Amino acid sequence: MQHSSFARRARALVAAVLVAAAPAAFAQGSIRIGIITDRVGPAKPYAEPVTQGAEFAVRELNAKGGLLGRKVELLIEDDQGKPDVSATAARKLVDAGAAFILSLSLTPATQQAQTVSLETRVPHMTPSNSGDTLTTQISNPNFWQTGPLGSTQIATLLSYARSKNYKRVALVTDNSDLGQLINRFFKAGLEKSGIQIAAEEVVPRGATTAEPQMQKVRAANPDALFMTGVLTPENTLVLRAYRQLGLKAPILANYNLSVPQYTSVAKGLLDGVTFVDAFDPAKPEVRRFVEAYRKDTGSDPWNLHGYGYDGILLVADAIRRAGGTDRDKVREAMQATRNFVGVMGAQGSSYGFADGRRTGFDTNGMVVRVYERDVQGKVVHVGQK
């Protein structure tokens, strides 16, 4: 009798252990996270890798047992870069039960989508966008931004430039909304530091050359040239004209120049260009991320993938601390995020929303790197010191 009851208990115990160890044992329903991305419009080259990074993060999460024991499901909507479509997409995601929405599209589109998170109080965030106005134009307690702000970029670049004693500089941008926004912030930062703007030029989308603009820059003879545009073809034209016209002033560029396509499209034009980035290749979290991504997909990620990855992990962290998907609890948990170390950011930097801020990227978390020949080279400066 003792023997058989022991055997019975042992069998029950083994069965319980086996069930607990089974990987596909997700509890209850899934946790849904919504993504609004641009699949066909102008933001596509940037939104797509961010989306892929987010998708990878979700795969990783689910492989490790999910979030609070529940499977994470990504619902992806395409807003085509259009504001009204973005708002509709947000509403659709809310109706589908999304616990959190990530916006990866153009600044004006994300702005419009915020009207929905403002009204429905669904937690909403952009992990990659750097437009400063996203948290200032609408007072939306349900919205956070963890992309590197234009103001942080310029502050980082400026602190690097300060050591060089530039007196007069030129600004070159494009006519995209984000490019104009970043340009405004760079200009404000430069002027505040007492640096004179000797020339300010715009290369419009679809231009066949940037020579007239760069001729004007050459005539102004600046100490340095700041590139604040975000369109790859137009920036390539600027780099081409720069070399064609024999300009020598050093180039300092916004983080768009960290996108790896420049290595192939602007080959031969990049040597010596410094750019601000949030990706320190030597950081251990980055090395781990690159290896894991490479193993999972077969190709290497770059910085944009990291934003999407960090975005999902930040959201997951908040939901975990909130213990569920209750909107108020998640909002509180998100706002309480402190010292979260992600893939992006310099060594020693972290994400956090202290003092009621809704921008989470560490203001000292950006680095300045330089292109050596056509390869993204070493870090030459960190933060805003």
Partner 1 sequence: MRDFLELAVSATASGCVYALVALAYLVMTRPTGIINFAVGEWAAVAAFGGFLTLTHAEWPYAAGIAAVTAAMFAVGWATERLTVRPLVERGAPVLAPILALLGMLVVFRELISVGFGPDPRPLPQAFGFGRLEIGLVAGSYQSFFTIGVVLGLFALTWWFFERTLAGRAFEAVAIDRRAAALMGIDLSRVTALSFAGGAAIAGVAGLLVAPNTSAHYMMGLPLAVQGFTALVIGGVGRVEGALVGGLILAFAEQLTVRYAPVPPGLAMGVPLVLLILFLLVRPTGLLAAREARA
Residues of the shown chain interacting with partner 1 in the complex, contacts defined by CB under 8 A: 40, 42, 44-45, 48, 175, 200-202, 204-209, 211-213, 215-216, 219, 232-234, 236-237, 240, 243-246, 261, 264-265, 267-269
CB of 13 to partner 1, least distance (A): 53
Closest to partner 1 by CB, 190 vs 266, is 266
Q: Which residues pair with 71 in a beta bridge?
A: none
CB of 77 to partner 1, least distance (A): 17
The answer to whether the beta carbons of residues 381 and 156 sit under 8 Å apart is yes
Closest to partner 1 by CB, 38 vs 280, is 38
Distance CA 208, CA 239 (A): 13
Nearest to 304 by CA among 265, 274, 278, 280: 278
Nearest to 27 by CA among 81, 69, 84: 69
**Paired tokens of 260:** 């790896």
Closest to partner 1 by CB, 31 vs 269, is 269
CB of 291 to partner 1, least distance (A): 23
Chain-centre distance for alpha carbon 51: 10
Nearest to 315 by CA among 83, 95, 103, 93: 103
Closest to partner 1 by CB, 80 vs 145, is 80
Closest to partner 1 by CB, 100 vs 262, is 262
Burial (CB count within 10 angstroms: exposed 0-12, middle 13-18, buried 19+), residue 179: buried
Distance CA 195, CA 164 (A): 12
Closest to partner 1 by CB, 235 vs 325, is 235
Closest to partner 1 by CB, 107 vs 183, is 183
CB of 108 to partner 1, least distance (A): 17
CB of 222 to partner 1, least distance (A): 16
Closest to partner 1 by CB, 269 vs 382, is 269
The answer to whether the beta carbons of residues 366 and 344 sit under 8 Å apart is no
Distance CA 365, CA 9 (A): 55
CB of 122 to partner 1, least distance (A): 28
Closest to partner 1 by CB, 141 vs 212, is 212
Cα distances from 275 to residues 36, 313, 328, in angstroms, run 28, 26, 39
Distance CA 234, CA 232 (A): 6
CB of 231 to partner 1, least distance (A): 9
CB of 375 to partner 1, least distance (A): 16
- DSSP character string of 237-286: HHHHHHHHTT--SPEEE-GGGGSTHHHHHTTTS-TT-EEEES--TTSHHH
**Paired tokens of 43:** 């933001």
CB of 132 to partner 1, least distance (A): 20
The answer to whether the beta carbons of residues 100 and 122 sit under 8 Å apart is yes
